């Protein structure tokens, strides 16, 4: 039986305001918890469904947690219904401390910048794809969906722990600072630019993607140095944002 205060805390972390207050988030599943334990992230607590503690993969996670003196709690079936964030509880979850990065932590390498991205699946998929192609620095505008949203994390498939993410409080000022202090150029993906085949990878470059619905905001227009377009041949109005980012990331890595 899980302690009531722990169950309450886990339920609170399902809400953005409490994730922000406690600077923690919940990771569910063997892969995600494993990535957390192997990373430099602060794992605060491991919670295991009691009747699954002897499953090989979960047993290994328990050993890893105990080696790092991370508390391990066991929960029952009734607890699971209250604390799970998925339809089927995968048997294990972890409470992990949020990482706080400064702008300086993402310079000296290409930066993927996402402006007003609201869809958790798109954000998580872009983080995962960037990790696959070896681009580790990601800049989020203040209007983006919470990167610690459970749906975002599930979509990253653990890549959140392999990337460095900085969330700006004012994306215009952040991009201005990157240009003025760190000599970055800003490359935007929109419907009216040079063909994406001309895009080159540079260390001091930002690759800017706008929202799913509206693209790059007019407020950022004067900060853009170059524009690129992914040309199509069919009748679809536009590409999915995560697909567009994947094409660009592939181009940057080739």
Confidence band for 187, pLDDT divided at 50, 70 and 90: very high
pLDDT tens for each residue of 11-43: 999 999 999 999 999 999 999 999 999 999 999
- Bridge partner residues of 139 (DSSP): 113, 166
CB 15 within 8 A of CB 73: no
Q: Which CATH superfamily is domain 103-253 in?
A: SPOUT methyltransferase, trefoil knot domain (3.40.1280.10)
Alpha helices in 71-210, H assignment, sequence order: 77-83, 120-132, 150-156, 171-182
- The CATH number of domain 4-97 is 3.30.1330.30: yes
pLDDT tens for each residue of 102-143: 999 999 899 999 999 999 999 999 999 999 999 999 999 999
pLDDT tens for each residue of 55-93: 999 999 999 999 999 999 999 988 888 888 888 889 999
Count CB-CB contacts under 10 A for residue 29. Answer: 19
pLDDT of residue 206: 97
Q: Answer yes or no: same fold for 4-97 and 103-253.
A: no
The residues, ordered by sequence, that sit 6+ positions from 27 with a Cβ below 8 Å of its Cβ are: 33, 36, 93, 94, 95, 96, 153
pLDDT of residue 12: 96
pLDDT of residue 38: 96
Taking residues 146-163, report their average pLDDT: 96
Residue scoring higher pLDDT (191 or 60): 60
> For all residues of the chain together, what is the average pLDDT?
93
CB 141 within 8 A of CB 206: no
Confidence band for 153, pLDDT divided at 50, 70 and 90: very high
Asked if residue 234 has pLDDT above 90, the reply is: no
Residue scoring higher pLDDT (191 or 75): 75
Asked if residue 239 has pLDDT above 90, the reply is: no
Please give the model's pTM, rounded to 2 decimal places.
0.93
Going from N- to C-terminal start, the domains of the chain cover 4-97, 103-253
% pLDDT > 90, the chain: 78
């Amino acid at each position: 039986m899980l302690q009531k205060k722990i169950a309450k805390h886990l339920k609170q972390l399902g809400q953005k305001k409490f994730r922000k207050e406690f600077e923690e988030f919940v990771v569910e599943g063997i892969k995600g918890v494993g990535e957390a334990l192997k990373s430099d992230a602060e794992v605060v607590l491991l919670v295991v469904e009691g009747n699954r503690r002897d499953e090989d993969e979960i047993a290994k996670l328990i050993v890893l947690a105990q080696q790092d003196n991370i508390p391990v709690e066991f929960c029952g079936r009734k607890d699971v219904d209250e604390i799970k964030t998925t339809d089927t509880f995968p048997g294990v979850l972890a409470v992990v401390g949020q990482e706080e990065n400064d702008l300086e932590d993402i310079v000296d390498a290409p930066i993927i910048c996402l402006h007003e991205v609201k869809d958790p699946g798109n954000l998580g998929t872009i983080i995962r794809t960037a990790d696959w192609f070896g681009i580790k620095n990601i800049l989020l505008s203040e209007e983006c969906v919470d990167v610690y949203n459970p749906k975002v994390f599930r979509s990253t498939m653990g890549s959140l722990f392999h990337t460095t993410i900085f969330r700006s409080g004012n994306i215009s000022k952040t991009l201005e600072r990157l240009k003025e202090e760190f000599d970055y150029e800003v490359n935007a993906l929109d419907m009216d630019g040079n063909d994406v085949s001309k895009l080159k990878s540079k260390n001091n470059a930002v690759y800017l993607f706008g929202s799913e619905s509206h693209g790059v905001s007019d407020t950022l227009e004067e900060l853009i140095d170059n524009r690129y377009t992914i040309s199509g041949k069919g009748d679809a109005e536009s590409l999915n944002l995560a697909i567009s980012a994947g094409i660009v990331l592939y181009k940057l890595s080739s």
